[in-house]
Amino acid sequence: MKVDGREITVFQGEYKTSPLIVLNTVQGEGEEIHKITKGLSASDFTLLSVQIDDWNSAMTPWRAEAVASWDSGYEGKADEYIESLTQRIIPEVIVRYSLCPSFIAIAGYSLGGLFALYSMYRTDIFTRFASVSGSLWYPGFAEYTEKNIPSASPARIYISLGNKEAKTGNRIMKTVA
């Protein structure tokens, strides 16, 4: 279904009070991730998968030049997407599915991981954050986190980096190692 111009898929948990986990996806991989995580977790949850077609725009906090030859640069429209997500998409899902989640979490991979952590500074709707191989090399992000206070009081934060980040030849991407 579409909400605020974005394709979303909801994988409903067993209970209305199950945690709601928001996952921004770029290739509609929500179903596959839901199957994998349900097999790994004993805890019930509802997964809200949001298809992000404008990945380099919606997942980035501010404009930045391309950091690789294959890249087109970053538009920096995360604040617009955060507003859409928190003011329209999540409320629509909660009403439509009669949810009363015990908490709302946000998770993402690559730029989606950057977005998950950035959202901690922009809204208090989320209390749990997962940045999986997040693009924490993003120009100015480390400085931003040092100078700003999170809007949310995070109950949990998960951050992981892959083994290859430190070995990249790209001097900007290497800064997260």
Confidence of residue 168 (pLDDT cuts 50, 70, 90): low
pLDDT at 17 over 50: yes
Between residues 164 and 105, the one the model is more confident about: 105
- Is 108 in contact with 130 (CB distance < 8 Å)? yes
- CATH topology for 2-176 is Rossmann fold (3.40.50)
pLDDT exceeding 90 applies to what percent of the chain?
73
Query: 73 — alpha (psi -120 to 50), left (phi > 0) or beta?
Result: left
pLDDT at 64 over 90: yes
Q: What is residue 18's three-state secondary structure?
A: coil
Instruction: Dump pLDDT digits (tens) for 98-148.
Output: 999 999 999 999 999 999 999 999 999 999 999 999 999 999 999 999 999
Give me 22's structure tokens. Answer: 């928001």
- Half-sphere exposure (Cβ direction) of 3: Cα atoms closer than 13 Å: 22
Give me 126's structure tokens. Answer: 């989320």
Confidence of residue 177 (pLDDT cuts 50, 70, 90): very low
- Of 172, 114, 171, which Cα lies nearest the Cα of 141? 114
Between residues 35 and 149, the one the model is more confident about: 149
Contacts of 125 (CB under 8 A, 6+ apart): 86, 90, 104, 152
Give me 30's structure tokens. Answer: 């929500």
Q: Specify burial of residue 140 (Cβ count, 10 A radius: 0-12, 13-18, 19+).
A: exposed
- Half-sphere exposure (Cβ direction) of 101: Cα atoms closer than 13 Å: 24
What residues form DSSP beta bridges with 7?
Answer: 2
Residue-level pLDDT at 176: 53
Residue-level pLDDT at 170: 47
The domain spans of the chain are 2-176
Instruction: Dump pLDDT digits (tens) for 24-63.
Output: 998 777 666 766 676 666 689 999 999 999 999 999 999 9
Cα distances from 36 to residues 5, 31, 83, in angstroms, run 27, 9, 29
